[in-house]
Every structure is written in structure tokens, then in C-alpha cells.
Amino acid sequence: MSLANKTAVVTGSTSGIGLAIARTFARDGANVVINGFGDAAAIEAERAGIEAEFGVKAAYSAADMTKPDEIAVMIAEAEARFGSVDVLVNNAGIQFVAPIEEFPVDKWNAILAINLSAAFHAIRAAVPGMKARKWGRIINTASAHSLVASPYKAAYVTAKHGLAGLTKTVALELATFGVTANCISPGYVWTPLVEKQIPETMQARGLTREQVIHDVLLQAQPTKQFVTVEQVAALALFLCGDAAAQITGANLSVDGGWTAE
């Protein structure tokens, strides 16, 4: 168990990709801090479930990823409670779609804050401890949109391209300290958020469920299959292991061939 006696902070982890990563790390022996918004009872059920199922400690931070002070407190509290933050996964993200000339300024600011600046603030807070211990893993959940663009997603594409650049810079700065920094760039991942979009798209476009999945959602993915949260989580876990010690500054695509075209 490569993560036994280590602690991982995973932002945006009350559902979807982030929760799958937190659970995978806990299965491998890590104490975890989950973070995000949602129903308090549901979040507590996930937190308690992780402890019960995997025999590790799990904490919840309600830190708002738009607020640098709260991000710093989240890292400090994790270090105080568990003794270290060994793995940091910057996964929190939001999306908004609109033509550039109609793109709301507040949505631009929020997407840049949560998808990009939050990672900077969390890394900034976690790095001193990692450097002191000569070991750490920083994993940023980017997107196929860190490599290619799509129309009407100005803020998201900008943030994810920026996250890839931040990852490279951090990797270079920490290369001699036993700390790696990488980003994982998924394509369309099957999550509850994606599933909820299907009926709306069926109605709006007059398509069947199968047509929405294959002709709309998976149009960009040559495999015509969704990435699963478990596949993303497995790659994140691999990046924490000794076999990945020389992988740093990389942008690893998990996108069914999307960015190969």
C-alpha cells in the first residue's frame, strides 16, 4: 500500500471524479480530506463510509475554493490533524457555456477562481511541508480542454490551459525535492452531472438517449465510450507510487483518443 500513513487532500470530492479519487486513495491506506458543496447529510455519509469501509481517517473541509484564505486554512488544518499533507489533488471545477461576447463576467471570474487560482493557492500552502519531508504528489485534474478548445467555453478552456502550465512550472521548481506535479486530462467522464444533461438534451434536440450519448456527448471521443471515474482514480493512484517517481510535469490524457485527432 503505497499511501499507508500518508494524507491526501482532494478538492471537489463530494461526488464524481474527486470522490472516486478520495475513495481509491483511502482503499490504498491514505487518510483523506474531502471537500466540496452538497447536502450535509450526504457528505457526512460519504465521509463516515470511507472510514468504515477502508479503516482510515477521513475529514471534511467546507472550504470555498473561491476564497484563498479558506484554502490555506484547509491545508493547515489537515496538516495539524494528520501531521502532513502528502498528496494534493486539485479537482474542484465548474463550467459555463456561452458565446464570448455574451459570457457573463462573474462566470468568467468564478471559473478562473475555482478551476485555476484555487490550485495555485492550495499548492502554495502545501508545498513547504512537502519540501521539508522530501516527498509529495501534486495532481491536478485538467481536461481534454487543457490541450484543445471547444466553442463557447472561453473561461473553462483558458483555466484548464493555465492549469497545465501551472503544473509544469511547479514540477520544475520541486524536481529536486522528491515532489512530483502532474495533470490528468479526462475527456467526457460518466458522472451524475453528465447523466442529468441527457434528458434535457433529448428534449432540446429531439434526439433519443442513444443519439445524445453517441452523437452529442461522445462525438469528440473516437472510442465512443465514456471515461469512468474509476479509470481516472486509478491513474491518480499510480502517480502516487514509486513507479511514477520520474513522471513529473506531464499532462496525461484519458480521453478515448479525443486529443489524438
- The catalytically annotated residue of 60, 152, 156, 188 is 156
Distance from C-alpha of 253 to C-alpha of 255, rounded to nearest angstrom: 6
Following DSSP, what letter does each residue of 128-177 receive, concatenated?
A: HHHHHHT-EEEEEE--GGGTS--TT-HHHHHHHHHHHHHHHHHHHHTTTT
Active site residue 188: no
Which string of b and e fits 140-166 if b means at least 16 CB within 10 Å?
bbbbbbbbbeeeebbbbbbbbbbbbeb
Give every CB contact of residue 145 below 8 A, 6+ residues apart in sequence: 153, 156, 157, 160, 161, 185
Q: Which residues have a catalytic role annotated?
A: 156
